[in-house]
Structure 1
Amino acid sequence: MGAVGIASILMFVGFDIGRLIDWMREASSKDGEEEAPTLVATGKKVVLDDRRYRVFRPHNSALSVLIIRRAKKKDAGIFRCNLSGSSTRHKYMILNVTESKIEARTSPTKQKVRVGKDVTLWCNATGYPKPVVYWTREDRNRRLPDGSYQYWGNGLTVGGASEADTGIYACYMDNFVQPVVSYRFTLMVEDSPWHVDAYKMRFDSSQWYSASSSIPKPVMGKSYLLMCETRGSPKPLPRVRWYRDGKEVRNNRHFYIIEDQPEWRTSYASSTLVIMRFVPRFQGNYTCVASNVFRMKKQTFYMHGYLSQEELDITTGGGAGVGAEKEQKLPLNRLTPGVGGGGGVEDIQTNIISSSKYPLNTGVVFDSTRVTSMRKSNRNRKEEDVEDAEEVGEAQEGYEDEEIEVGTPLGPTDDEDQTEGSADGTLH
């Protein structure tokens, strides 16, 4: 049997090394008409007018081989080989030419799996000649889960999937006749679902308030804190960035970002944006964006409106603190001793340490190096503080916005998962 597109070989062994061997194609019926027998070759000479036919006859051998290159369906039929001049010493051979093809069934081309679970990608190939199947990886990481660069077999199993297994895999099917057939598969290894919670605190607050709360309002010239923390078990830990009206906020003399990933909570991360001294131009929408290779979560603080010190005294009844304002409070585990003060860096640091993020019974101590650095930085800001005080005084007369240090634009606005597939299998 032969296949369309590949060479078909017919062999005959004679009994006399010196005798010629003839190859004949027997009569066949085509479209109801009988075709006469056709002489194909005699000895080594091909008589048929078709360059695809060749005869191979080794020296001093009785072997004769008829080769038909790039066989076609019309080449199918009955062939007879016999010793030249003899009508009795002959053999018949039947050549069937089958259409060459590759058919495949595959697993879904896009699959998701949790970290630590097993998953199998498969390509079942059939056809004639029977195809072989092999796998490669098509993204930056060229190594397959078993450490090799190429795997032969219908199924590729990824055991105990990890983040490194996220990528693009390809199976190739080849029967060495038809063009190679390939399929691509995208595998996404996901971590467990997690979320981001958002809270805010004023310099005189006794607790953290939800980001959706209408209080406490910022006070002119005083500090204000915005905090985002993860809830769940994100792996790997996400990176948190801050944006104001779509532009990234970085550390400068007006803003200070405190990152926290305590050793005693391996699946937790938080970031606090400290507005050192609030002035009218700092109003706007502040957004924290937490993202790892699998997800992106965000929360937005709507900072519009503020109080003067005089308005604060009236609102709180002569300095009773923000607790005097009526508002639904957070669970008791977030209540902390009242912290007052002028809103300096040291007061802010004390307020953060007093919050429930650092329960008193855990023995967690804030990074002393960071505190020392902030204190030195605070002393260096004396002249800048005077300028900020002047800004507060000028606020009633109007103030044009000043561009803060910014980075890349913020992305989507809703709190949603963001996952991407690419050739490198990575999020942007």
Structure 2
Amino acid sequence: MSAVMGPWISRLLFIGPWIIILSNLVEKGECDTPEFIYPIDNITVAAGRDAHFTCVVNKLQGHKVAWLRSDSKAILAIHNHMVTNNHRMTVSHNGHNTWRLHISNVQRNDSGHYMCQINTEPMVSQIGMLEVVEAPDILYNETSNDTITMESANVNLICEARGYPEPTVIWKREDKENIVLRDGTGGVHRVSSVEGRELSLTKLTRGDSGAYLCIASNGVPSPVSKRIMLHVHFHPTVDVVNQIVSAAVGTQVILECVVQSSPRPINYWAKQMQKGEDVNILSGGRYKTTEEQINSYSMRIYLTIDVRKKDFGVYACKARNSLGEAQATVQLQESKIELSAPDPDFELETTTLLPVQRIKKRRKGKERRKNKVEEYDDWEEEEEEEGGDQSKPQIIFFKEPEIPATVYTTQTISSLDTYSSNTRNSCITGL
């Protein structure tokens, strides 16, 4: 009896009543060797989820299945009885040949090797590994917040992250622009991203302003990021698009300037008067001021004017922030539309058409004759009855020099009495 129980006692697998039960089973000769049907799978699971190991055994007979932590040799369960006090662990049996160890809400300290063991002589077992991974997480209390600094200064941005495996941290600009790295020798390097928990920016310019993203990833869904705004403050600057603008009275004109400033400035237009005073222009009526944001520190300022005579003069685009004030001027001058002189080559020609004789087609019986010209003998009588002036031109043509034209020779008829018989035989005289 002691020889049979020796291996169990040495491994501390079964205690109390279990020893007596197992000894009786062995003495009865139930010694068919149990066998594992499938190996235990290794499991990788994210922290907070559930996991389970499955152990499938045939020919178990009167033997028992136990679950242990392989690294610490701690007994977790024997058959359907839980030994550990960890309430997150349970065991189950399907009533045939399958035993499972369930672990709910797994934690990082649950990682390790787990053993399914059968109390044979010698004992047989198989091992599965549980790897608990953690999605990356940024430690906000240890990571930089929004930062304000001045031009030409240096700044270090810090991003601390945790997770398993250890997360990789990279820096990018939110606007997809390159990150500018300057070294002590004056060298400048432009890169799309920087790897590491610390981002060092030196000799800052206004172009370095903007949002920077600290991104942590370790292959476990999903990567996390923190947005850090870098504000580089500087004195405002103003530039005008056109220094001189011409417009006519009654038209609409737009004056434009570009302002760069951080912190955000107060922008306005003013008109310079003859006494040297500047009169601020308020938006309304014939004047309208608008702004268009270009980036975090640049904007366009517009002044729209419905032009009148008194509007011509000098206008100033002004910007002011806590660091100072700047302005630039635009000259609005009057433009006049001049009519061009008439073309000296332009000619006006008149053409008088003579009366046209009427052409008739006559048909006698079935015989078809050629066209016969019939003189319009009653023309003179009709003109006299209507009181027409026979000497007055009938049609006037205007011909421009750019278009080649045929010059017609015409004759003004003052009386039909001078109309010769040769002329009457023609349709139009002078062609």
Superposition TM-score tier, normalisation by shorter sequence = 0.3 to 0.5
Q: TM-score, normalization: structure 1?
A: 0.35
What TM-score, normalized by structure 2, do the two folds share? 0.35
| Greater relative CO, 1 or 2 (CA 8 Å, sep 6+) | 1
Larger Rg: 2
